[in-house]
């Protein structure tokens, strides 16, 4: 069943990538509207990205249907997922977690059961043997490493550009050359390929690096004192850019839609009757976009 999920997700990513190449204007329009929500609040765009991308799939990806799972429904689940995608041809269902992050640190998994860090700690502080690393990735503690369906919407607000960047877990596993422990107030020097003094880190991590000393990802401390940002599996869209695949094929420019902000303010003060009329008008506009 798990293999079917991953195959279905790979097929979906291929289809999305094709759509982005052939009908770039659809992706630019939706992502621009999503990131416009940052004008309302720094966190507003994250939740609205979930319903926005779910509707994007329903409107423009004809062989797929998407259902927004919602916060209440998925909180009790072992793995938090934001939308459920259904292949209308094969009837295969697979969950996807949507994240809207700035270009930089990206959380791939909360590791809610806190398995990864304690397990790595039991394996040593400088794991460099290929067979040892292979056993780690095959262990139950890392069972979720290659099965995380995350669709990150990455934005660079200063340059007003965005990208849908998917972390390549298989490449990360194949290229991991060392797993090293980096304690608090320490950092890894890529050129010297060793741990040196460094300020700012409050909690330790295990860093995964390739043969060239390049950063791939990290497992953060998950103890009682750690908050959500200080635990789990993380990577970095700048430092590990070669370990990402772009569903949009490249960085794309987006624009702020100030009319959308006005629409929201009016919608919050209008009745359901008005919303129904607006929905009809908006659907006609979406149908027009499909013809362009």
Local confidence band at 75 (pLDDT 50, 70, 90 cut-offs): very low
pLDDT score recorded for residue 73: 52
pLDDT score recorded for residue 66: 96
Local confidence band at 268 (pLDDT 50, 70, 90 cut-offs): very high
Q: What is the pLDDT of residues 129-147, one digit of tens each?
A: 899 999 999 999 998 887 7
The Cα–Cα gap between 185 and 188 comes to 11
SS (H, E, C) 94-155: EEEEEEEEECCEEEEECCCCCCHHHHHHHHCCEECCHHHHHHHHHCHHHCCCCCCCEEEEEE
78-94 mean pLDDT? 85
pLDDT score recorded for residue 262: 97
160: left (phi over 0), alpha (psi -120 to 50) or beta: left
Closest CA to 120 of 102, 100, 105, 135: 135
- For the chain, the structural domain boundaries read 2-256
Contacts of 204 (CB under 8 A, 6+ apart): 181, 182, 183, 184, 221
Local confidence band at 2 (pLDDT 50, 70, 90 cut-offs): low
Q: Decide if pLDDT at 272 tops 70.
A: yes
Least confident of 8-17, 52-61, 119-128, 200-209: 200-209
The Cα–Cα gap between 190 and 72 comes to 43
The Cα–Cα gap between 39 and 32 comes to 12
The Cα–Cα gap between 100 and 37 comes to 11
Question: Which residue would you say has higher pLDDT here, 72 or 245?
Answer: 245
Phi (first) and psi of residue 157, to 5 degrees: -65, -35
Q: Is 106 exposed, middle or buried (0-12, 13-18, 19+ CB in 10 A)?
A: buried
Local confidence band at 224 (pLDDT 50, 70, 90 cut-offs): low
Q: What is the pLDDT of residues 99-117, one digit of tens each?
A: 999 999 999 988 878 889 9
Q: Decide if pLDDT at 3 tops 60.
A: no
Which token pair is 20?
């982005």
260-268 mean pLDDT? 97
Which token pair is 235?
């990577």
164-186 mean pLDDT? 94
pLDDT score recorded for residue 229: 78
249-268 mean pLDDT? 96
> Are the CB atoms for 201 and 182 separated by under 8 Å?
yes
3-state secondary structure of 275: helix
């Amino acid at each position: 069943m798990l293999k079917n999920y991953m195959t279905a997700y790979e097929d979906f990513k291929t289809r999305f990538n094709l759509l982005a190449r052939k009908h770039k204007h659809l992706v630019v329009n939706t992502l621009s509207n999503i990131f416009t929500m940052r004008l309302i609040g720094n966190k507003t765009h994250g939740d609205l990205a979930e319903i926005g991308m779910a509707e994007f799939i329903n409107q423009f990806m004809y062989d797929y249907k998407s259902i927004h799972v919602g916060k209440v429904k998925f909180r009790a689940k072992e793995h938090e997922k934001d939308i459920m995608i259904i292949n209308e041809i094969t009837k295969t269902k697979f969950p996807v977690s949507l994240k809207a992050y700035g270009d930089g640190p990206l959380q791939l998994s909360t590791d809610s059961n806190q398995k990864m860090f304690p397990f790595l700690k039991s394996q040593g502080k400088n794991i460099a043997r290929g067979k040892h690393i292979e056993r780690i990735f095959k262990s139950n503690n890392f069972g979720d490493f290659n099965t995380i369906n995350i669709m990150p919407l990455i934005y660079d607000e200063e340059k007003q550009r965005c990208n849908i960047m998917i972390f390549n877990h298989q490449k990360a596993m194949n290229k991991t050359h060392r797993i090293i422990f980096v304690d608090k107030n320490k950092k890894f020097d890529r050129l010297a390929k060793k741990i040196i003094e460094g300020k700012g880190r409050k909690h330790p991590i295990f860093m995964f690096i390739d043969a060239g000393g390049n950063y791939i990802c990290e497992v953060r401390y998950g103890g009682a004192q750690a908050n959500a940002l200080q635990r789990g599996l993380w990577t970095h869209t700048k430092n590990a850019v070669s370990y990402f695949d772009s569903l949009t094929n490249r960085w794309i420019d987006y624009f702020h839609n100030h009319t959308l902000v006005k629409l929201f303010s009016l919608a919050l003060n209008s009745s359901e009757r008005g919303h129904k009329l607006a929905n009809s008008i908006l659907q006609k506009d979406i149908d027009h976009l499909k013809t362009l």
